[in-house]
Structures are given as C-alpha cells and as structure tokens.
Structure 1
Amino acid sequence: MLKRLLPTICLLMPLTAALAQEATPPAPTEEAAPETETILLVGQRPGPGLWKVSKGDHVLWVFGSYSPLPLKMEWRSQQVESILAQSQEYLGPPGAHGHVGFFRGLTLLPSLIGIKKNPDGATLKDVLPADVYARWQPLKTKYLGKDDSIERERPIFVADALYDAALKQSGLGKGYDVSNKINAIVKERKIKKTDTSIALEMDDASKMVKEFKKSSLADTACFDKTLTRLESDLDAMRVRANAWAKGDLEAIQKLSYADQEAECRDALRNADFVKNQKNWQNVQQRVQNAWLTAVDKALEANTTSFAMLRLSDIVGPDSYLTALKAKGYEVVSPD
C-alpha cells in the first residue's frame, strides 16, 4: 500500500512525467488519416530504428518510445536486442521524482484522504465553465459510466482517468510493454543500469500535501484540452500508433493534435504548492542536464551504450539529441 501511495504524495499525480520535459513534436498542418489506418496493427512489430550518437569509436544508441500504442501489439526488435547484448550500460529515461523518507512517508498517510477532491466540497459543475461541463457529460457516460463519485475530483485527475479509459476502449495503451521488455533484457544480460532521473527534495512534505488539498489549480485548460483530444483525435492516435509500430516516423510528425499534456503540466508547475518549494524550480532544464551528464559519462566509459527517450524528446529543435549535437557529438537518425 505504501509503495502505491507515496508516489501520490510526492507527485500528486504522474508528476514525474508532468514536470520532466514533456515537449511534443512540432505540429504541422493536420492531414486527414486514411480510413484503412484506423485498424490497429497487431502481432509482432519492431517500432522505429535507433538514433546513433558517436564520440570517436564510442557509441550511444537511442531508442524512441511512444504512447499510446496498440494493446494487442507484441513489440520485438532484433536490432534493439542485438545492440543491447553488446552494450556495457543502459541509461534509463530522464525524469523527476519527489523524494520523501520512508518514516516521514508513514506519517503522511492519514493526510492523503481526500487528496484528489476539490477544495471545500466543490464539484466539477461548480469549478468548470458551463460549456466545458456540458461537453464532459457525454464523454463521461461513454468512457466512465454512471459513477458520480468522480464529480467531486479535481479536473486534472478526472482528465487523467477519462483519457486512460478512452484509450482502453479504443484498443490503445500507454506502451509500457515496450519499456518492460527492454528492462527485462537489461536485467537478463546483467547490463549496468543508470538512473538518469533527478530527485526533488521537499522542505516539508506534510505542509506541501496540506497546501495542495486546500489550494485551487488552474486546470480548466488541462481538462478542456483533454476533452478536445478525445472528441477529435482518437482515429489519429491509431494512425500514429500504427506508424510507430511500422517505424514510420514521418507519418507521426505529420499529424498534429491538441496537446493536453502541456496544459496539465503547466497547471501543476505553476501552482502555489510547487512554487513554494525552492527545490522544485527549473525542473525541466535540470532533468535534461542530468541526462546529458549521464550520456557524457557513458560515452567516455563505454564502447557501446544504450538509452531510451520519449520520441517527443528526440524530434524537434529543442530535443535532447539537438543538445548533444551542440556539445559536439555526431548524431545520425535511423534510415
């Protein structure tokens, strides 16, 4: 129970992803998705090729993960397995996590009750604009059913639950099978695994939880963008999922979408309970810097290393690989 609850205390939702860089690829003009592509690919799929980062004869291979992906897809890449078998070190994905001691965490458990609820007993109808609330009703019925208990939760938590339920009904998932498979290979091969994430120390974790429970969040935009994406983007999600499975990166980048992740990230990052924590500032840059430092050390120490990044951290002018190019590394994209 404690292992499940402490991340909630520390992060108050998936804040590891929310406070880490969550940039999305550039959004060109939307292209219509071919109807034949709305059928999700099943069976064994390799995903995209690998990016090659070089310093002399030392190489770091970078794999681009993606979400959502087909639930019934079995991912297997002989290229990934072969290169992992040759690697001396595996760099875990960048991120940030809240840090609280074990015994301090035990004292916080009672304060978790009601952490997802709106302050002062407010409901979604009370805190959302009327037009947004009206759009929520049919999506709630379609994906979550008639359980009204969720009506008292904060919009940011409701948006997360709604999005997960919609993905599941659409045959899509978060793509954890891919990272689990890579981690299994790393463990089986006994490859050195380096955690590149940073810890966010808390000045007073108990106070932070209390501040969160009584404070409001500017999370209407997060909720609104989530509704927009579910209203208009599910077919395109399937197209992008299929494109990743086939290794077609160009197709992924051609399809723009409402980026609810950025809105939800900002709702948390700009909240007072975060601003009051001096160790929780400039997280996005600190996360990238920690990963770049880990890459420097891996390329110096090993002839072959392997890393996994979200595709959104690979593609675009502000990507992690662009930062590596600026440091003088040679970066080659997959064919």
Structure 2
Amino acid sequence: MKTRLVLTMCGVAILGLAAEARAQTSSSLTQAPADEAAAEVETIVVTARRSGAPMWTVTAGDSTVLLVGAIDGVPRSVAWRPDALEAATLRADRILLGTGVQGSLGDILRLIWRSRTLTRLPEGRTSADYLSPEWQARLDALEARYRVDHSRKSFLLSSRDLLTDQLDFDRDTADDAGDVVRRAARKARIPVRAVTGGRGDQLVEDLLTAPPERLVPCMQAAIEATEAGAGPVQQRGEDWTRFRVRAVLDSPLEKALGRCWPWGDPTIGPQLRAAWIEGIDKALAEPGVTMAVAPLNLVGGEDGVLDRLKAKGLEVSGPDWR
C-alpha cells in the first residue's frame, strides 16, 4: 500500500508532464457558416447526451463549450454507452482534459525520499489524538469489521484505504468519460490541452507539510462513505448515467472524494478550481467548439463552474444541477 501511494503521487507529476507534451499538438479546421455551425453543435449535444455522461452546452458568441461532468470509479455493472460520447468528441475542435502539474524528476524523488511522512502520523501520535471520541469509535468499528489498523497511518493513506480497499469503489470499473474522450481525441489527432493546476514543487510541499488536522474532514467523510457500503457506490454510477447530478453530488462517496486530497485540500483545491475556471473562460473566447471533461463536483457543485457561468449571463443548457 505504501508503494502504491507513492506511485500514485509520482503519477500526478508524470501525467502532468505528459499532458503538457500532448498539448503541443495542433490542428487547423475550416469554420462553417453560422447557421450550419449551430446545427452541428446541436447534433453534438443531442448525441453526447445519449452517452450517459451529463453534459452542458455553454455559448458565448461564436464559441461553444461542451462541458462534460466526469466521475471516478464508474462500476462496470452500470450500463452506459460511451460510443456516443466518442462520436461527439470527434466533432469538437479541441479538448480540455485532465489537470496537469508542472513537475520534475526532483519532485518525484523528494516524494519517494520522504514517503514515510505521507504514510504515517507524527511520531507518538495516533488517530485518537485528532478524531473526536465519536469519530474514533466509528473508525474502531470499521477496523474491527475489516481487520485493519488505521491508528498510526496518515489520514491521507487511511482515507484512501477506506475508500479503495474497504469500499472497493475503484475496482472492477468501466471506462470513465475522460478515458473515452482521450482515446477518441488521440486517434483523431484532435488537440488536447491539460488544465495546469500548479507546480510540482508546490504540490509536494503541501503533501509533506500538511498537518493531520487539515485532513480530519476528509477522514470523517471517508468513514461515512465506508459505513454506507457498496450500495450507494452502485447508485452513484446509475445516477450519473441518468443525469441525476444532485443525487451524485449528495452521495457519500462523492462527498468524500470532494473533501479529500486534492480537491478538498485548502491549498491545492482552490488552485485546481481556479485553473479550470480560467481554462473554460479561455475556451469561451475562442471560436468553434471546445469539449471540456472536468470533475462533476467542480462543474455542478455549489459555486461551481456552471453557477459561475450562469451568473455571468451566459446561456447554459443541459441537465439540472441545482
């Protein structure tokens, strides 16, 4: 588990560098007349909405953004048809996909060198030093049920263990919206841009120096999601394919993912959020069609991207997110 966590953190920097490289790809497309382009956008919208991935259309003059709300860990048992989303991707002029990090080999090596800081609580401390008696008792009950010990593990590691090892939310999963769009864009040579959410050294510094107290809300949400069991995980996936946005955002698992690192981190989370808002604003200043695949909790959550775009007076159409 320790190795898996370190590799996950290293992967953040590696994926960021890879995304930055992919963003160098470019293509030139001939712009259609206004009425013809509008009909084409409408076709994309109708097609993509049959895909099972909630999508909104945002227009500003001659610019259109198709904003797809993605979730992690869609169960394979949940039926959805990604072929329609793939077809819609092929009609876009450019893609915004994933959050990149400007990292370096030194950042990765620092994570590996300091891995104990990421996996253990401070020397001489246990989870009971940070959780209230009520929450500690609930954690103790889960430890007894699954025969594990989280007393000395860092909350970063313990929260992921609860969600992945005990709740199994990310096992036996189908392709998510980002996977589908990435493959289709690569095959069609559609330019892909990663939304850069910060520097690798900042990310590493935050991981290594964040006090355990900062992760208490994440730990509490992970305990609640694990207590709820696998049923809500399945329901979350089904709600996502049926565009029940509010139900997905209110699910115990989605709440936990939104309160944990990186989105729930008070330092990294706002940087990622600001990077996505800036990226979508730039896309709305470019003519043509941009498809953006962003986390659903960022898109439809409270004061999320959709709320902000609507407040600006832009035309937003798609599933109800409020």
TM-score, normalised via structure 2 length: 0.69
- Aligned partner of 1:166: which letter? Q
Instruction: State the Cα RMSD in Å.
Output: 4.1
Where in structure 2 are there 5+ consecutive unaligned residues? 14-49
CA distance in structure 2 between the aligned counterparts of 1:245 and 1:297, rounded to whole angstroms: 28
Report what 1:192 is aligned to.
191
Please report how far the alpha carbon of residue 120 of structure 1 lies from its aligned counterpart in structure 2 after TM superposition: 1.2
1:239 and 2:228 matched:
no
| 1:136 Cα deviation from its structure 2 partner | 1.9
Task: Report 1 or 2 for greater relative contact order, CA contacts < 8 Å, sequence distance ≥ 6.
Answer: 1
Match of 1:310 among 274, 295, 315: 295
User: CA, structure 1 residues 3+100, in 2 after alignment: closer, same or farther (shift >3 Å)?
Assistant: farther
Specify whether residues 58 and 109 from structure 1 end up closer, same or farther in structure 2 by C-alpha distance, changes over 3 A only.
Answer: closer
- 2:122 aligned with 1:82: no
Distance 1:118 1:294, change over 3 A: closer
**Count of matched residue pairs:** 282
Which one is further off, 179-188 or 106-115? 106-115
Structure 1 distance, partners of 2:200, 2:118, is 20
Match of 2:27 in 1: none
Cα gap change, 1:109 to 1:91, in 2 (>3 Å): same
Q: Deviations over 1:178-234 (max 9, x none)?
A: 3222211111111100111321364796x767645xx54343343233222322364
Does the 8 Å CA contact 2:196/2:275 hold for their aligned counterparts?
A: yes
Structure 1 residues without counterparts, runs of 5 or longer: 13-44, 275-279
1:8 CA displacement = 3.2
CA distance, structure 1, for counterparts of residue 248 and residue 264 of structure 2: 28
Instruction: Write out per-residue CA displacement over residues 125-172 of structure 1, whole angstroms, 9 at most, x where no aligned residue.
Output: 5554444333223323444x44x4x4321234212211112332x786
Tell me, in whole angstroms, the C-alpha distance in 2 between the residues paired with 1:223 and 1:301: 41
Q: How does 1:228-267 map to 2 (within 5 A)?
A: 228-232=224-228, 234-249=230-245, 252=248, 257=252, 259-261=255-257, 263-264=259-260
Identity %: 20
Shift of 1:10: 10
Counterpart for residue 157 of structure 1: 157
- 1:262-313 C-alpha deviation (Å, 9 max, x unpaired): 554599745xxx6xxxxx6xx51x5444334333443443422211122222
For normalisation by structure 1, the TM-score amounts to 0.66
- 1:215-262 alpha-carbon deviations (Å, 9 max, x no partner): 543433432332223223643333232122234446546x56483445
Flag the 1:53–1:103 CA change in 2: closer, same or farther, 3 A: same
| Aligned: 1:8 with 2:13 | no
* Paired residues of 2:126 and 2:151 also in contact (CA < 8 A): yes
2:306 counterpart residue number = 321
Q: Which amino acid aligns with 2:317?
A: V
Distance 1:315-1:184 versus aligned 2 partners, 3 A rule: same
Aligned equivalent of 2:177: 178
CA distance in structure 1 between the partners assigned to 2:118 and 2:8 by the alignment = 13
Where 2:52 maps in the other structure, the secondary structure is coil
Q: Which consecutive segments of 4 or more residues in structure 1 shift more than 6 A?
A: 9-12, 170-175, 207-210
